[in-house]
Chains A and B, each alone.
Chain A
């Protein structure tokens, strides 16, 4: 079945550091890929998405590129801020259906 694997957290960074959160997937066909962010005490917000190979999703300084050859969708940001502290979920939708398959989530803590 479909699955998403994310790097274990928590990830702790200093402000202005470079961020990478790894995400790889297994899916039938050609899934759409998503990153969602969940701030403390809140629901999930869509951060970015990509629907086909080589697409790059970007938002709020975050980027991720859909790499079919490596089945990956790694999240990157050049300079993190304290306000980026949250849990980040990688997810996919595949097969024409409406089920999101989530990774386990990666907690990011950014310190001054």
Chain B
């Protein structure tokens, strides 16, 4: 079973709102990721957690705040977003953060900022 579950599937928020995206995996994977995907573009890496510690932050603005409460859960807290942040946000996980290891993606959360 290679399932990464994301909630909510769709989210509309105002620029002054605070919301969170949630991600869960029960595959025992020790690396978890957030990607952002704009229409007709490939996903762009935002954050990587390795063994529950933030290992990569791709210079993401502070209005995006990741959190890894435990090895199965990954959150992305959103605050004071801009309309250009509207995109598909993909969570992913992998067994270990190694070169040969496959990264599995969730279905994504469609975010619209109004």
Contacts and interface: CB of A to CB of B under 8 A. Distances in A.
B100 interface: yes
Given A44-B43, A99-B45, A34 B102 contact: yes
A42 B107 contact: yes
Interface residues of A, number: 25
Main secondary structure of the interface of A (DSSP, over half): loop
A18 B15 CA distance: 47
B42 A103 contact: yes
A32 B99 CA distance: 6
Interface in A67-112: 89, 93-100, 102-105
A61 interface: no
Q: Looking at chain B, what size class is its interface with the partner chain?
A: 20 to 34
Contacts of A32: 99-101
A62 interface: no
Nearest to A94: B99
A38 B40 CA distance: 11
A93 B107 CA distance: 21
A96 B41 contact: no
Interface of B: 2, 6, 31, 33, 40-43, 45, 48, 50, 55-56, 88, 90, 94, 97-108
17 contacts: A29-B99, A34-B102, A36-B105, A42-B107, A43-B6, A43-B105, A43-B106, A44-B43, A44-B90, A46-B2, A93-B99, A93-B103, A96-B98, A96-B99, A98-B94, A99-B48, A100-B43
